[in-house]
Amino acid sequence: MRVTVHRKAHFNAAHRLYRKDWSFEKNESIFGKCNNPNFHGHNYELIVSVTGAIDPETGYVIDMKVLKDIIKSEVEDAFDHKNLNVEVEDFKNLNPTAENIAVVIYNKIKPKLDTSLDLEITLYETPRNFVTYSGN
């Protein structure tokens, strides 16, 4: 029997969607207002979902406190109140779209979990735009 544990978190961050190897005009045609050279911000909402067997001794799939601490150190401390393009190494050469941010978060958290556990990342960039990634 496998059960999924969900932990919510959030961070505020600025970004610009563009490619350095494209002209401003091409970036504008693909990314529109998201290509603003002065950046823009989002209140990202994150749901980290961990699936595994319930430990019969503790009743836990994973201790929520442990999961909270992993999210804080791997995501919130790294991304909150940051300019993703300028201040976060992961996005120096990677467009900080919601898709790419979700993959980066997955790759940061997965190695911190027991290998028996499955992970899914749900990332809301706006209340109406969100992505999911589970490593496939």
Task: Kindly list the residues in this chain that would bind ligand LPXRUNBV in the complex (CB under 6 A).
Answer: 17, 34, 40, 97-99, 125-126, 128-129
**Nearest approach, Cβ of 32 to ligand LPXRUNBV (angstroms)?**
8
Residue 99 binding result from Zn ion, ligand LPXRUNBV, none, given CB thresholds of 5 to 8 Å by partner type: ligand LPXRUNBV
Task: Compare residues 60 and 130 and give the one whose CB is closer to Zn ion.
Answer: 130
Residue 121 binding result from Zn ion, ligand LPXRUNBV, none, given CB thresholds of 5 to 8 Å by partner type: none
Strands 40-53 and 130-133: unpaired
**Nearest approach, Cβ of 3 to Zn ion (angstroms)?**
34
Strand order in the sheet with 130-133: 82-83, 2-15, 40-53, 118-124, 130-133
**Nearest approach, Cβ of 87 to ligand LPXRUNBV (angstroms)?**
17
Q: Which pair of tokens denotes residue 31?
A: 């990314």
* Residue indicated by tokens 């990314």: 31
Q: Which residue is nearest to Zn ion (CB)?
A: 34
* Of 70, 81, 77, residue with least CA distance to 108: 70
User: Given the rule CB under 5 A, which of 4-12, 32-40, 69-77, 98-106 is the region that contacts Zn ion?
Assistant: 32-40
Q: Which pair of tokens denotes residue 125?
A: 């960039």
74 is catalytic: no
Backbone angles phi, psi at 19, to 5 degrees: -115, 135
| 121: helix, strand or coil | strand
**Nearest approach, Cβ of 76 to Zn ion (angstroms)?**
19
